[in-house]
Amino acid sequence: MDNLTSKAKASRFSFEFFPPRSPDAESQLWSAIADLARWRPDFVSVTYGAGGTTQEPTLATVSRLIGETPLATASHLTCVGKTREEVAETVQTFRKAGVKHFVALRGDPPDGVGKTYRPHPGGFANAAELCAGLREMGDFEISVSAYPEKHPESTDVNADIDMLKRKVDNGAHRALTQFFFDNAVYLRYLERVRAAGITIPIVPGIMPIQNLTQLKRFAASCGASVPSFLDRRFEAIEDSAEARQALSAEIAAEQIGELQGHGIDEFHIYTMNKAGLVGKVLEAVGATPARLESAGAAA
């Protein structure tokens, strides 16, 4: 336990949230933020719908995070469906709100995941071009996405890694991976990325399992695999919400612990705007929460 605790203390964690779409969802989000702030994340990020479909809720969320909490805050940013000028206007709006860190993403096709992506004639063609644009617009910290199991639209892993290298060459500081559950997949990917000369942090995305059935549907749409061992482990427990949450925390903690053993010291956790399970995961890996004086302002 002492060794695990020391690794957790040396590790850095960041959290992803999504903007609320109802008063109840907003209440849940800010309750989760207030609770998870105690874990002193390296930063938090807020998602941004394709084509800016959540621009106003995202802006409202990041503005409040910056104004009312001590949390370093990043906003997702997509370029699909917009001209370069429209993207620049969005960036300036977020900059005025205090945003200094963007998670630069191409975004899903307007017709939905799985449909053909067509760049806007006057826009950025992809996330690599968006990174270059952001670098020209200001001195921003830039995070990007990475796909240990290949982006669903990439022809192969080599093409996918080539795109990641273009993002890095154009200014990306770190990559946050799509969630995965087989650490061997991530470690093989990391080896190939390093062999390609990419040296930025490749931060593993960790998805604590809130609902296995829903997770499978989501994973199928974004090209992530769900190993069969997860079915076996969930089938072996009693059918209670408490038991499922305990097992979910155990699985995520095991995944983080194994990666720590391979020298990985930074993790990006997809919270789904729910603090309880994420807190249990962090407790299980030996992280220690702290009372932050400003955390209550988020509630």
Q: Any idea where the domains of the chain sit in the sequence?
A: 2-284
Coil, strand or helix at 74: strand
**DSSP β-bridge partners for residue 142:** 102
Of residues 205, 104, 222, 107, the one with CA closest to residue 164: 104
The reported pLDDT for the residue numbered 109 is 62
Of residues 204, 205, 180, 209, the one with CA closest to residue 262: 204
Of residues 78, 75, 74, 95, the one with CA closest to residue 87: 78
**How many angstroms separate the CA atoms of 53 and 123, rounded?**
17
Instruction: Please count the helices (runs of H) and the strands (runs of E) in the chain.
Output: 11, 8
Kindly report the pTM of this predicted structure: 0.91
Q: Which residue has the tokens 């990041």?
A: 62
User: Per residue of the chain (299 residues), what is the pLDDT tens digit?
Assistant: 445 445 555 799 999 999 999 999 999 999 999 999 999 999 999 999 766 678 899 999 999 999 999 999 999 999 988 999 999 999 999 999 999 999 999 987 665 555 566 777 889 999 999 999 999 999 999 999 999 998 888 889 999 999 999 999 999 999 999 999 999 999 999 999 999 999 999 999 999 999 999 999 999 888 899 999 999 999 988 778 899 999 999 999 999 999 999 999 999 999 999 999 999 999 999 998 975 444 444 43
Compute CA distances 248 → 110, 125, 126, whole Å: 33, 38, 35
Q: Look up the CATH number of domain 2-284.
A: 3.20.20.220
Known catalytic membership, residue 149: no
**Burial profile 134-153: b = 16 or more Cβ within 10 angstroms, e = fewer:** beeeeebbbbbbbbbbbbeb
Query: Could you report how far apart the first and last alpha carbons of the chain are, in Å?
Result: 33
The reported pLDDT for the residue numbered 292 is 44
